Amino acid sequence: MAETRIFTVTGGLGFIGKHFVQRLLADGHYVTNVDLVNYAADRRAAAVFNDFDRYRHIQSDISELPYMPECDYLLNFAAESHVDNSIADSRRFCISNFMGTQRLMELVRAKAPDDRPRFVHISTDEVYGEIADGAHTENDMLHPSNPYSATKAAADMLIYGWGRTYGVNYNIIRMSNNYGMHQYPEKLIPKSSGRMLRGLPALLHGQGRYYRNWLHVEDSVDAILTVIEKGQPNTIYNVNGNYEILNIDVVRKIAAIIGVPEDRAYKLVDDRVGQDIRYSLDSSRLQALGWEPQRNFDTELPKIIEATDYHRFI
Ligand SMILES: NC(=O)c1ccc[n+]([C@@H]2O[C@H](COP(=O)([O-])OP(=O)(O)OC[C@H]3O[C@@H](n4cnc5c(N)ncnc54)[C@H](O)[C@@H]3O)[C@@H](O)[C@H]2O)c1
């Protein structure tokens, strides 16, 4: 994007949001980051961003945001994002993921049509539910399987309604599993590598027999910028990674990099309820705009493990 733009980003201290904010600041844009700073927020990223005059942080729950900052684009990353937490207690998921989206849509539609920011909402492959073979297209029905994906699907539905009823201009971007530098250590890669580096086995649900599709977070950032620059209004874009693999094989790769023998690399634990066997997205709509995933899982994984930092999120 050649011209300087003003962005409001929500959840910009979370894993994907902070990589997006970092790119925007590097490219000379202005960023207002609305982030309530929950357990997954990266305080070290906050310190780096605060050095930019073009950055400001509003510490607020998006579901209670009192006003929409002046901006050209509104990017909604803010969410409770961990499935296990949603199974334990879904209340915060309903508030942040569903009511938070409702609040943002209301703030956008309250503005005069010509003064509204373009609303870009970050969603997930999990809203479609599992698929044994093939890949979901953007026209497929939503079949979420757990409270996290149910609240994400519900938010997507709200957006359709605000688009049709109030003419709010939106894009929904549904992405597969992201990996990259400095992810909160509740997710598979940082949790497993952190445990192995501490001499503990990784913990695997369901015998590790779940397939996930991995998308590098910088490829996600490229995908979002592609949608902003070239996407059609009121259109959904799927973003699939270029690497599908069983969870047990991810953990084996981590063990090989760290040098942990297979018999000490993992422990099989009780299955999660509502677990989906496989997700897969058809991203041909986005690829037609010129986006392709660029990063290679096997090249990136050692760098990510090398950068594992236990204290970052404490
Ligand atoms: N991580 C993935 O693999 C993945 C894949 C597909 C889609 N997504 C979606 O991408 C988005 C970002 O995911 P992530 O992994 O970066 O999440 P994350 O949990 O790492 O970060 C979420 C951030 O949002 C903030 N936040 C949470 N609730 C908030 C609220 N009510 N108001 C303001 N701020 C709030 C948190 O403080 C945190 O900084 C989410 O919407 C998620 O559903 C993630």
Interval 36-86: pLDDT, tens: 999 999 999 999 999 999 999 999 999 999 999 999 999 999 999 999 999
Residue pair 171/237 in contact (Cβ under 8 Å)? The answer is yes
Residue 309 scores a pLDDT above 90: no
Q: What percent of the chain has pLDDT over 70?
A: 100
CB of 221 closer than 6 angstroms to any ligand 1 atom: no
Q: Note the pLDDT tens digit of each residue in 148-172.
A: 999 999 999 999 999 999 999 999 9
Atom of ligand 1 nearest to the CA of 61: 32
Residue 199 lies in a domain: no
Residue 255 scores a pLDDT above 90: yes
CA 41 to ligand 1 centroid distance, Å: 9
Q: Which domain holds residue 221?
A: 6-179+216-240+282-293
Mean residue pLDDT of the chain comes to 96
- Model confidence at 2, pLDDT cuts 50, 70, 90, reads confident
d(CA 203, CA 220): 27
Q: What is the pLDDT of residue 275?
A: 87
**Residue to mutate (ligand 1; options 39, 64, 77; most atoms within 8 A of CB):** 77
Q: What percent of the chain has pLDDT over 90?
A: 95
CB of 185 closer than 6 angstroms to any ligand 1 atom: no
**Is 70 marked active-site?**
no
Q: Which of 125, 156, 222, 300 is catalytic?
A: 125
Residue nearest to atom 1 of ligand 1 (CA): 178
Token pair recorded at residue 85 = 């937490």
Q: Is 23 helix (H, G, I), strand (E, B) or coil?
A: helix
Rounded to two decimals, the pTM is: 0.98
d(CA 205, CA 148): 17
Q: Which of 126, 156, 222, 300 is catalytic?
A: 126
For the chain, what is the domain count?
A: 1
Residue 303 lies in a domain: no
For residue 69, what are the contacts with CB-CB under 8 A and spacing of at least 6? 8, 32, 34, 58
CATH number for the domain that contains residue 175: 3.40.50.720
| CA proximity to 77, closest of 175, 169, 213, 160 | 175
Residue 314 scores a pLDDT above 90: no
Residue 194 lies in a domain: no
Kindly report the number of other CB atoms within 10 A of residue 164's CB atom. Answer: 10
- Model confidence at 313, pLDDT cuts 50, 70, 90, reads confident
d(CA 134, CA 234): 25
CA 206 to ligand 1 centroid distance, Å: 25
Residue 1 lies in a domain: no
Provide mean pLDDT across the span 15-22: 98
Question: How does DSSP assign 50-67, residue by residue?
Answer: HT-TTEEEE---GGG--S
Alpha helices of the chain — where are they, by DSSP H?
15-26, 43-50, 83-88, 91-93, 100-109, 147-166, 188-197, 217-230, 247-258, 284-287, 297-306
**Is 80 marked active-site?**
no
Residue 250 scores a pLDDT above 90: yes
**Is 125 marked active-site?**
yes
Residue 187 lies in a domain: no
CB of 40 closer than 6 angstroms to any ligand 1 atom: yes
Residue 123 lies in a domain: yes
Residue nearest to atom 15 of ligand 1 (CA): 15
Provide mean pLDDT across the span 96-125: 98
Residue 310 scores a pLDDT above 80: no
Residue 311 scores a pLDDT above 80: no
Question: What angle in degrees, to the nearest 10, is found between the helix axes of 188-197 and 297-306?
Answer: 50
d(CA 77, CA 287): 22
Q: What is the pLDDT of residue 97?
A: 98
Residue 299 lies in a domain: no
Residue 29 scores a pLDDT above 80: yes
